[in-house]
């Protein structure tokens, strides 16, 4: 079956055109294409982008299917415009063997909403003691290229060095959760004025920045590839900027929620705002926006972290860290960045660059004839109110409940097959 997307604007360009999709690829681009045997879809002047790619998604399966499954998480991803997500390793059992990463990869293929690229654990059981089977995961059917103990920092410098060296053999990358554990014992929120006023144990910025500085130096020493997860402080942005200036092969991501929310929200004691790394200050938020705009921060990643109701709706101290984010990501980024990013730059930071970092060859590709038809169509004039009860995710812990967001994904295509049409599952 072929599809004809009519009246669309690739990358938000001025003139509307048509895009024919056939055999999973873009077959023709031009105004007024004949319908032929194609199924038409009127884009109504919407913005056509490469399908979004998330470097940082928690799908919880296997082990915590009460919070999320690959089926529900990838459907939420498709509704958010994503055609590929990287599934983090903190499952039960941990994704630290070829068997587990292949299971997650196959669950993604069976669900069919978007491609799932499993992230392999750096250490066995995420315990930070012994390196996991990185090579066998890389050679598995899942072809893992991103490795992370996310949720835990690889705090042992010697182990981190060996991991950075080891993954060079297959062009892998170590994605670090930058959190010095000895500086964050019992931490509940950002360390600062608000934590003092609220009487909550603080999570100091230096706990993130110290690990980033160390790991940038290690990556430079071994010529390894380093990725920094969920950068959250102004100092972290400066460290990444410095390292890039020195030629270190380092990339960094920022979450949508760290681009807009601040630690003032902790004063509500609503655990929906409890997240790791914590929400920071207005100064940090501005530095993150500037870093994303100027390219110091390479990409946006959701850190979609669904939780079962009983794990999140508790008193602040007992509640789990984390927020959902796949369905709201694009709207939050557009809201946060305003006119700082063009649609072309949005495509770079939410599709092309994360695909390159994760070595996903068929995603984040140009909108051009012959390229894979992994695409999303956005209504740039839409405004919508976030309703957690309408989410495709199994969990409801979004910090944006009741917020009005700009733009909305109206269609998503995975290898030419619609997964979302008119804002609903196809």
Read off the pLDDT of residues 87-106 as tens digits, 9 standing for 90 and up.
999 999 999 999 999 999 99
* Ramachandran sector of residue 95 (left: φ over 0; alpha: ψ -120 to 50; beta: rest): beta
For 185-231, the pLDDT digits (tens) are 999 999 999 999 999 999 999 999 999 999 999 999 999 999 999 99
For 162-175, the pLDDT digits (tens) are 999 999 999 999 99
Percent of the chain whose pLDDT exceeds 90 = 99
Distance, CA of 278 to CA of 203 (rounded, Å)? 7
The three-state secondary structure class of 159 is helix
Model confidence band, residue 1 (pLDDT cutoffs 50, 70, 90)? confident
Model confidence band, residue 322 (pLDDT cutoffs 50, 70, 90)? very high
The pLDDT value recorded for residue 94 is 98
The arithmetic mean of pLDDT across residues 75-88, rounded, is 98
For 103-114, the pLDDT digits (tens) are 999 999 999 999
Residues belonging to the active site: 303
For 13-38, the pLDDT digits (tens) are 999 999 999 999 999 999 999 999 99
Please state, as a whole number, how many other Cβ atoms lie within 10 Å of the Cβ of residue 41.
Answer: 21
The arithmetic mean of pLDDT across residues 252-257, rounded, is 99
The pLDDT value recorded for residue 295 is 98
* pLDDT(301) > 90: yes
Provide the mean pLDDT of the chain: 98
DSSP summary character for residue 182:
G
Torsion of CA 341, 347, 350, 351, to 10 degrees: -160
Q: How distant is the alpha carbon of residue 45 from its chain centre?
A: 27
Question: Closest by alpha carbon to 215, among 185, 178, 183?
Answer: 178
For 42-75, the pLDDT digits (tens) are 999 999 999 999 999 999 999 999 999 999 999 9
Show the domains of the chain with their CATH numbers: 3-48+370-425 (2.30.40.10), 52-357 (3.20.20.140)
The pLDDT value recorded for residue 245 is 98
The pLDDT value recorded for residue 398 is 98
Q: Are 375 and 50 in contact (CB under 8 A)?
A: yes
Please give the helix or strand (H or E) that residue 30 lies within, else none. strand 25-30
* pLDDT(372) > 90: yes
Q: How distant is the alpha carbon of residue 196 from its chain centre?
A: 31
């Amino acid at each position: 079956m072929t599809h004809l997307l009519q009246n669309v604007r690739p990358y938000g360009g001025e003139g509307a055109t048509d895009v024919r999709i056939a055999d999973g690829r873009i077959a023709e681009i031009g105004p007024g294409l004949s319908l032929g045997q194609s199924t038409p879809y009127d884009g109504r002047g919407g913005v056509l982008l490469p399908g979004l790619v998330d470097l940082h998604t928690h799908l919880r399966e296997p082990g915590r299917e009460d919070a999320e499954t690959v089926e529900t998480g990838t459907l939420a991803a498709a509704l958010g415009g994503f055609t590929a997500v990287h599934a983090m390793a903190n499952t039960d059992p941990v994704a630290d063997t070829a068997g587990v990463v292949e299971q997650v990869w196959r669950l993604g293929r069976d669900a069919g909403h978007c491609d799932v690229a499993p992230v392999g654990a750096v250490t066995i059981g995420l315990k930070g003691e012994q390196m996991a089977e990185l090579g066998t995961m890389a050679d598995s059917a899942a072809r893992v290229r991103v490795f992370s103990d996310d949720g835990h920092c690889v705090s042992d410098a010697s182990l981190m060095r060996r991991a950075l060296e080891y993954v060079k053999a297959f062009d892998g990358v170590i994605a670090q959760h930058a959190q010095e554990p000895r500086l964050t014992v019992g931490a509940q929120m950002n360390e600062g004025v608000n934590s003092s006023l609220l009487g909550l144990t603080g999570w100091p910025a230096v706990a993130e920045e110290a690990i980033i500085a160390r790991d940038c130096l290690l990556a430079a020493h071994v010529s390894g590839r380093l990725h920094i997860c969920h950068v959250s402080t102004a100092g972290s942005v400066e460290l990444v900027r410095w390292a890039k200036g020195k030629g270190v092969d380092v990339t960094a991501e920022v979450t949508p929620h760290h681009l807009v929310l601040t630690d003032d929200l902790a004063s509500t004691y609503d655990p929906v705002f409890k997240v790791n790394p914590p929400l920071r200050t207005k100064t940090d938020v501005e530095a993150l926006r500037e870093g994303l705009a100027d390219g110091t921060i390479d990409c946006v990643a959701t850190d979609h972290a669904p939780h079962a109701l009983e794990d999140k709706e508790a008193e602040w101290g007992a509640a789990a860290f984390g927020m959902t984010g796949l369905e709201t990501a694009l709207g939050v980024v557009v809201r946060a960045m305003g006119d700082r990013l063009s649609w072309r730059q949005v495509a770079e930071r939410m599709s092309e660059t994360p695909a390159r970092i994760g070595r996903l060859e068929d995603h984040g590709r140009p909108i051009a004839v012959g390229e894979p038809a992994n695409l999303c169509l956005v209504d740039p004039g839409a405004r919508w109110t976030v309703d957690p009860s309408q989410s495709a995710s199994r969990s409801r812990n979004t910090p944006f409940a009741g917020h009005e967001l700009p733009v909305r994904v109206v269609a998503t295509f995975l290898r030419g097959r619609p997964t979302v049409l008119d804002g609903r599952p196809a």
